[in-house]
Amino acid sequence: MFIKESFGPRTRMVGAAFILCGLLASGNDGAAMAATRQAGASPAKTLNFLWVQPLRNHPVHRLMQAGFLNECKKLGVQCDVVGNPSATIYDVPATVALASAALASKHYSCVAVYDPVPSINPFIAKLGKEGYPVATWHVMPKQGSVPGLDAATAENIAQVGDAAAMAMGQKMGGKGTIAVTQGSYNATEDPMAAAFRATIAAHFPKIKVLPSQLENFEPSAAVAKAVSILQGNPAVTGAFSTTGNGPQTWAGAERESGRSLVIIGMDYIRQNLDLVKSGKVFAVAAQPLYPEGAKTADLCDGLATGKKVPYYNPLAAKIVTKADLAPYYGYLKQAGE
């Protein structure tokens, strides 16, 4: 079963379907689209975009989807979201199966595929061979490194790690020990952690940064992992997490351990903003989650209508402290969260 959200002009529908009988027809649609693109013919007037995202019910991912769906609504385009319906299990095979079912049920003008891990790249290559324009967000793989990928939008990942390091190093007074955790090892979190580490080394040589460890995505297990890191490292006075649950993870570990930490994590979901507002978390990196989704819809619109679309489309990010919260609560309101 795939869970699908659809937005068209003045329309919203949340439902479930599982349609496999049109696989052959979907292949024909792809071939026809490829011929149309090669011939330079005008695209169909009715545009349909498909958003494909594992871990689709994670609150960070929901914020990305909201940006996409709301921009689709502004564009007057029909847009669907598919992915394994979980907030804790990142399941690429299940998501690809659900996307294939969706593609079998409807002709899509563009497909947006979340691409932080290489295991989904064969699916992108298949879409490209079938003639679908493909865009991704939150990561920007090197142009040409992912066959079938036409455009990408994301934050400047290294810039986020660098900005977080500068903010944390200054807050800690240039001394102490920092624990680093990631949700998983992937194309977003790995370079961000590396940039953070390099900037601390360059600007705050008296601060020690511990090797990255995985907190994963299940909240109680993540807190337990962070507590174990604190128990094994009594000198830790700061914590940097590259994943959206990180502020909650480290605030929970701080509470359970009775320690006092300078905490920076990712993403302006409501729980994280509330932790910054309360003073339990120093700051969050405002990865441009909602804008990424909106920009992805715009990229798909350009690709589907034959416009010249740049491959790289970077977006700005900011380290958000208590004084800077108001605009990000506004984003949540726009997203209905």
In Å, how far are 10, 26, 84, 95 from 108, measured between CA atoms?
A: 20, 9, 20, 17
Write the burial class of residue 24 (CB in 10 Å: 0-12 exposed, 13-18 middle, 19+ buried): exposed
- Mean pLDDT, residues 219-235: 97
Cβ(178)–Cβ(208) under 8 Å? yes
DSSP type of residue 204: -
Q: Quick one: which of 82, 65, 74 has its CA closest to 19?
A: 82
Cα gap 95→82, rounded to integer Å: 7
pLDDT tens digit string along 51-60? 999 999 998 8
Average pLDDT in the 171-179 region? Answer: 98
Q: What is the CATH number of domain 2-155+289-315?
A: 3.40.50.2300
What number of residues does the chain have? 337
Tokens 């402290």, residue located? 321
- The per-residue pLDDT for 287 is 86
What's the CA gap between 113 and 19, in Å, rounded? 20
Q: Which residue has the higher pLDDT, 335 or 325?
A: 325
Dihedral pair phi/psi, residue 96, rounded to 5°: -60, -40
CB 272 within 8 A of CB 248: yes
pLDDT tier at 192 (50, 70, 90 boundaries)? very high
Domains 2-155+289-315 and 157-285 share a fold: yes
Instruction: Name 101's Cβ contacts closer than 8 Å, sequence gap at least 6.
Output: 2, 17, 18, 19, 20, 82
pLDDT digits (tens, 9 = 90+) for 274-330: 999 999 999 999 989 999 999 999 999 999 999 999 999 999 889 999 999 999 998
Q: pTM for this structure?
A: 0.69
Task: Return the domain boundaries, the chain.
Answer: 2-155+289-315, 157-285
Q: How confident is the model at residue 105 (pLDDT cuts 50, 70, 90)?
A: very high
Asked whether the predicted pLDDT for residue 17 surpasses 60, the reply is no
pLDDT at 45: 57
CATH 3.40.250.10 fits domain 157-285: no
Strand ordering across the sheet containing 134-137: 11-17, 2-8, 78-82, 48-52, 110-113, 134-137, 151-155, 312-315
Q: Rounded to an integer, what distance in angstroms lies between the CA atom of residue 326 and that of residue 337?
A: 15
Computed from CA positions of residues 149, 294, 267, 207, in that sequence, does the dihedral angle turn out positive or negative? Answer: positive
From 5, 77, 13, 79, select the one nearest 45 (Cα to Cα): 77
pLDDT score of 20: 30
